[in-house]
């Protein structure tokens, strides 16, 4: 194996600033370690060690970094020796990765500068109307409310009646009564997954029986965990497999539209670069198309 050399004592003296007892003025360009034809300089070690460490911590961090570097180089040299027959394949893979990384970075450069990220509500709505049947729910979603009532609350019957009533006036009476008596009320007016809805209730109540009971009615369902009563009412429900509402799919649609715009920009730029390369004779095609 090719020779590996380390210059730890000198290197660590310089890096930690502990110069007492060191009789040379070491420069940061000097070598900390060497493996084959690879060199690790003091400057590279210093850049890798976090600033502001205590001298003893800096010493340990520097030593650990140099040791890790030497171990890696030793492994790489052994790999080059044993896998010599695979070098062409490895180099081809490295080149392919490099090319992929460069083209990806270029794509991001164009997208960041040329793609409008603003999707108007009307544009999203038009896309939804044209593709409505493509958006199917993969879970139950609901709207509803949950009221927590102490078992000792005397007006349980009245507030439950108001909670289950229709009409905005009676619903306002219900909200006023809950607020006046400091009863915790969770109102979910936006579509929410049924699983998220149940996270508003004690985990012990989240049983298949209770879930089915609540889902089966639009009336108020009473649940009891032994400490409090929980009045639960669903005001709307869409089941798994139903067409998803616009509000549920809006973010997905915006992402689709963004990807479409990005694809259009990249195709346009790629075509432009292709034509320019041929016209400027920076690239040539020697194989004719079948139609030519």
pLDDT in tens, 184-243: 999 999 999 999 999 999 999 999 999 999 999 999 999 999 999 999 999 999 999 999
At residue 6 the predicted structure's pLDDT band, cuts being 50, 70 and 90, is: low
Q: Give the pLDDT score at 288.
A: 78
CB–CB of 194/141 below 8 Å?
yes
CB–CB of 149/222 below 8 Å?
no
pLDDT in tens, 104-137: 999 999 999 999 999 999 999 999 999 999 999 9
Q: Give the pLDDT score at 287.
A: 85
Q: Give the pLDDT score at 22.
A: 43
CB–CB of 185/146 below 8 Å?
yes
b/e code 156-177 from CB counts within 10 Å (16+ = b): eeebbebbbeeeeeebebbeeb
Q: Give the pLDDT score at 18.
A: 41
Q: Is the model's pLDDT at 4 over the cut of 90? A: no
3-state SS class at 140: coil
9: its two tokens: 């004592």
Among the residue ranges 59-68, 178-187, 238-247, the one predicted with the least confidence is: 59-68
H or E element, residue 115: none
Helix axes 87-114, 246-279, angle to 10 degrees: 110
287: its two tokens: 């194989």
Q: How many CB atoms lie within 10 A of CB 152?
A: 7
pTM comes to 0.72
* CA atoms within 13 Å, Cβ hemisphere of 35: 15
């Amino acid at each position: 194996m090719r020779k590996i050399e380390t210059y730890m004592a000198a290197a660590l003296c310089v890096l930690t600033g502990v110069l007492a007892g060191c009789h040379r003025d070491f420069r940061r360009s000097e070598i900390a370690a060497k493996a084959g034809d690879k060199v690790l300089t003091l400057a590279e070690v210093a850049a890798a060690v976090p600033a502001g460490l205590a001298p003893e911590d800096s010493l340990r961090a520097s030593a650990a970094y140099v040791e890790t570097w030497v171990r890696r180089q030793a492994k790489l040299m052994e790999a080059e020796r044993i896998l010599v027959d695979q070098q062409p394949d490895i180099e081809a893979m490295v080149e392919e990765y490099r090319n992929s990384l460069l083209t990806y970075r270029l794509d991001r450069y164009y997208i960041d500068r040329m793609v409008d990220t603003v999707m108007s509500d009307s544009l999203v709505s038009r896309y939804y109307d044209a593709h409505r049947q493509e958006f199917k729910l993969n879970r139950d979603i609901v709207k509803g409310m949950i009221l927590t009532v102490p078992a000792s609350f005397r007006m349980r019957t009245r507030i439950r009646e108001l909670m289950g009533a229709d009409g905005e006036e009676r619903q306002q009476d219900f909200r006023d009564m809950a607020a006046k008596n400091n009863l915790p009320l969770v109102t979910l007016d936006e579509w929410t997954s049924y699983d998220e809805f149940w996270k508003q209730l004690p985990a012990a109540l989240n049983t298949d029986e209770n879930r089915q009971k609540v889902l089966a009615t639009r009336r108020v369902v009473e649940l009891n965990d032994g400490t409090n009563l929980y009045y639960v009412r669903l005001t709307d429900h869409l089941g798994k497999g139903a067409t998803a509402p616009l509000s549920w799919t809006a973010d997905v649609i915006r992402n689709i539209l963004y990807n479409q715009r990005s694809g259009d920009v990249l195709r346009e730029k790629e075509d432009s670069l292709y034509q320019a390369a041929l016209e400027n004779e920076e690239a040539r095609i020697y194989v004719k198309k079948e139609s030519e």
